[in-house]
Structure 1
């Protein structure tokens, strides 16, 4: 098999190492590697096939194009051209799949080639293939997941070492877990894109990532961590989607999780995906969500699938896009914080009047209350009454998640 690789960053380096280490098992030849600056990578393996001109890659007689550039453009244009040239695709690019998955899958089908994307979700965790193949006899009811190693690292440091959000983010950047501009991670966009891919494949309904409720961790404060500890919980950025009666509910947001829940035990850069099937029940996939070797391994597995002619059906991307309910419509609990409350008694009265139950957690410079409600809408309605009457200067809400 002859392959071309677009990009020579961390994941591509891992892929190259694995290909070279397995030469005696699979005859895979790297025909070209696209980089921006050939001189910058001249010290690396296979420097003789480096090029900064995409046309040099297309001039080769390649079977598989491995796209590891990231971002939407020019990755999208390169892959579209590759498919039109009857070249199979392997990509780790969740951004592109979330935006252009439907178009590229349709085009691939028309041209008799395949798209593989195991590394797009969960790094080295093998989850895409099990969802498509191993769990095919189940109807997937829900996906609950920690899908972003950067935010999980930050929240772990805030919890374990009492760091502030700013301190934990800086440490993540110094260690290479967070980008200089961490917006896609800390605002929940990265996790939202991954959740849309998992949900689309699980429910056979095309779901656009921006249709989920998206909330990041940038507003999590030390007080939130203190309350979480007091409640026997951790705060995690969780992506969750549920299918019920043909409708999908989904979000990415920071939530409280009980300490005895498996998801609370997933720390630092590790990820977890929990899928619930109607026959199997819960099945969990845990591992490193990023990194040279882990993600490179997932990309290599996709290349081998094409090598061995193991092709999956990903027609779910071609289904009609459906809308997503953003709020939790069933009974739920939440931690509410009211900062500088002028009317504590009236706040408590509103909560008791409109919600199932409420328990005061703290009453010092602010009011913290754990509430039980018939739905998230009921909580939001109560908060609106409190806000409209100026009973406090500011407020926040963190749902408690039950799996």
Structure 2
């Protein structure tokens, strides 16, 4: 099997290490490796294979193009060119799949080649293949997941060490868990793209990431963590989706989770995906969501599947985009925080709109835990409070079970 590789960074290096560690099992020939600056990689084992010219990749008679360079451009053009040249593709690029998965899967089907992407979600956690293969006999009812190691690390540090957000972010950057520009992580974009891929495969409908309810972690502060501890909860950035009566609901947002739940026990850079099927019940996948060898092993497994011709149909990417419900329609609870507040007026509105409530603090700010029949009830009460000018700012943190 002859392969060309786009990218020689963390994931690319890990993938090559996995190939070398399994030389006695599989005969995989690395023909060329594309990078932007060849001499940054001087001294690496495969320096003689490195090129800055994409034409060198396509001049080789490769069977598989492995894309681990990331980004949308020029990556999309390179992958489409490979498919049009009847070359199989393995990619770890969740941004590309979330945005252009429909186009790429359709083109691959037309050309009779394979596109594989296990490493695009969950790093080294093997979750996509079980979802497609092992759980095929199930109707998937819901997915709950921690899909971004950067934000999970930040929230873990804020909770365990009482750190403010900016200090926890700085630590994540110093340890290599966060980029210099962390926007895609902390605003929830990365997790939303991954949830859209999982949900598209699970519900056999195209779930577009920009249609999800999306909220990042930048507004979470030390007081939120104090209230979470008082409520015997943790705060996690959770991606959750469900399918009920042909309707898909989906969000990525910071939420309260009870300390005895699986998601609460997943800390730092680890990820978790919990899948509920109608036959199998609840199944959990937990592990490192990123990392050199972890993600490299997922890329390697896709290459082996192509070698062994273990391929599955993934036509769900070619379906029409499904409409997404962004609000919790069932019973739910939420932590509400009000600054510069009029206590009696706010509580009167909450009494009239919501089933039950507990006041957690009414000194320097008003903090109330509310228990409602749906998120609509909570939002309606907040609209009334805001419209009547009974507070300056409102923060809402939903609790999920």
Which residue does the alignment assign to 1:154? 154
Which residue does the alignment assign to 2:258? 258
Q: CA deviation at 1:339?
A: 1.1
TM-score by length of 2: 0.99
Which residue does the alignment assign to 1:167? 167
Can you list the C-alpha shifts for 1:313-336, whole angstroms capped at 9, x where unaligned? 111101111110111111110000
Which residue does the alignment assign to 2:9? 9
Matched ranges for 1:2-401 at <5 A = 2-341=2-341, 343-401=342-400
Further displaced range: 305-314 or 180-189: 305-314
Secondary structure in 1 aligned to 2:340? strand
Secondary structure in 2 aligned to 1:392? coil
Q: Distance in 2 between matches of 1:209 and 1:313?
A: 21
Q: Distance in 2 between matches of 1:42 and 1:306?
A: 31
CA RMSD of aligned residues (A): 0.6
Can you list the C-alpha shifts for 1:224-245, whole angstroms capped at 9, x where unaligned? 0000000000000000001000
Can you list the C-alpha shifts for 1:346-397, whole angstroms capped at 9, x where unaligned? 1111111101111101111001000011111111110011111111111100
Q: Distance in 1 between matches of 2:46 and 2:312?
A: 31
Q: CA deviation at 1:21?
A: 1.2
Moved over 6 A (4+): none
Q: Distance in 2 between matches of 1:83 and 1:104?
A: 8
Q: CA deviation at 1:177?
A: 0.3
Q: How many pairs does the alignment contain?
A: 401
TM-score by length of 1: 0.99
Secondary structure in 1 aligned to 2:151? helix
Q: Distance in 2 between matches of 1:168 and 1:321?
A: 37
Q: Distance in 2 between matches of 1:363 and 1:325?
A: 34
Can you list the C-alpha shifts for 1:161-190, whole angstroms capped at 9, x where unaligned? 000000000000000000000000000000
Contiguous gaps of at least 5 residues in structure 1: none
Contiguous gaps of at least 5 residues in structure 2: none
Q: Distance in 2 between matches of 1:262 and 1:326?
A: 23
Q: CA deviation at 1:340?
A: 1.9
Q: CA deviation at 1:297?
A: 0.6
Q: CA deviation at 1:20?
A: 0.9
